[in-house]
Amino acid sequence: MTEKRNLPKSFFWGNSVSSMQTEGAWNEDGKGLSVYDVRPATENTTDWHVAIDEYHRYDEDLDLMKDMNMNMYRIQISWSRVCPDGDGEFNEKGIEFYDRLVNAMLKRGIEPMICLYHFDMPLNLAKKYNGFMSRHVVDAFVRFGKKMIDHFSDRVKYWIVFNEHNLYFQDEVFNISGYENGDKTLDDMYTIFHHTMVSHIRLANYIHENYDDVKIGGMLAYQQIYPETSKPEDIWAAKQVQEFLNFNIYDADTGKGYSPEVLKYAENHNIKMDITDEDREIMKKAKADFLAFSYYSSWVLSSDKIPEGEAPNRYLNEGGVDAKYVKTNDWGWAVDPLGFRNAITTMYNHYRIPVFPIENGIGLKETWDGEHMIEDDERIAYHRDHIKAMKDSIFLDGAEVLGYLGWGLIDIPSSHADIEKRYGAVFVNRTNHDLKDLKRVPKKSFYWFQKVLKDNGDEL
């Protein structure tokens, strides 16, 4: 007897991006500068001025998504586009752009999801206040978030606040929080992380207090960590990473507060987190309607390589070792579909809240000869195997999953500004230093997605 594995008709299939990796138009229609706008190109990276010019070409890109049978598009609102200084007057032309974009999605039957912060702090707030180190910036961000929620909640029913929130509890925090000055201490890291968490919870509470039909979830970069051996020290170190970088974030998102293990570590090491009594009361009210995450790869951890006295949220800095049992992509990232199933099932078992993978994909080096279709069979295999693993988590493990969003399924510069690391099912004709014509060219995976999504994932 053939097993029935039909996903619900309400299942979301779609694409996720950030504003700076798609929009371009960095100095148009009153947009203020973000920290990304002033980062120069290097030998192996581009600047952020054009990206894929979706500001002017969104209709074309949405038509491609509709042709691929997507029914959700997760975008980010650029804080400095709608509020140029971050804490001053709002820019109506910036808001009008997102009105047009959201309305164009809905016209095509594509459900919008909005992310409010994806690393691009307004430059003014970074220079003047050191980004999320400052309570002033927390208040400015919440003001911006409430304005966007009030404006778009009639049309946008799915929201996240911070992209990959657990990156703010790792050293990447100093690149993504508007941090301009300081010694990159654990005190600073823990303080910024807490400030962002309070920001998230204030906005989540605002939605739940004011909008019955709007859903908001926490979002992290899922850390699927395997111990290198069965040695107890390896197993314990991997467990600590899971606790600090996964459960700690979702615990706070769902009203449980921070992990006792994390709080005890901070207390024992005299780490300042700037937690106030008011923050504690706010955090008690936290609620998540879903748990979102990105997943690209799993990681292997060796306790022997972790420096003595290292904080558990920094174990991966030195403790990561090569994966032995799975293949890797062009950048050495492990391709591990079972890890994806593990992530979904673990989180659903733990929290009993719908799970939503909203970034998944594989970066590959690809060129186009101007004539023939790019045969990206490796990408097709990656997505097929991960969708199968997701369906296993649903139909074998009992997880509730809202949808599946790929990352950058129309090529965009990577998070480190490298357009040559391509995730897309659609090729965008540009290089790091030559914009060419930005032509959109469907790859072989485009047509694979088209069929899979048309059939709601029934046939892979």
Domains located in the chain, CATH noted: 12-455 (3.20.20.80)
pLDDT number for residue 187: 98
444 burial type by CB count under 10 A (0-12 exposed, 13-18 middle, 19+ buried): middle
Alpha helix (H) residue ranges in 30-177 = 54-67, 79-82, 92-107, 123-129, 135-152, 173-176
- Compute CA distances 372 → 25, 422, 428, 429, 442, whole Å: 30, 17, 14, 13, 11
> Of 179, 203, 207, which Cα lies nearest the Cα of 191?
179
Closest CA to 438 of 58, 27, 43: 58
**10-residue averages of pLDDT along the chain (460 residues):** 77 98 98 98 97 98 98 98 98 98 98 98 98 98 98 98 98 98 98 98 98 98 96 98 98 98 98 97 98 98 98 97 91 95 98 98 97 98 98 98 98 96 98 98 98 96
Report pLDDT for 2: 44
Question: How much is the pLDDT for 309?
Answer: 96
Other CB atoms within a 10 A radius of the CB of residue 211 amount to 16
Q: Which amino acid is at 165?
A: H
State the sign of the Cα–Cα–Cα–Cα dihedral 210, 216, 218, 219.
Answer: negative
pLDDT at 1: 35
Residue at token pair 């509709």: 66
**How many CB atoms are located within 10 Å of the residue 1 CB?**
3
Q: Which residues are catalytic?
A: 164, 359
The total number of residues shown for the chain amounts to: 460
What SS3 class is residue 315? Answer: helix
Q: What is the pLDDT of residues 314-327, one digit of tens each?
A: 999 999 999 999 99
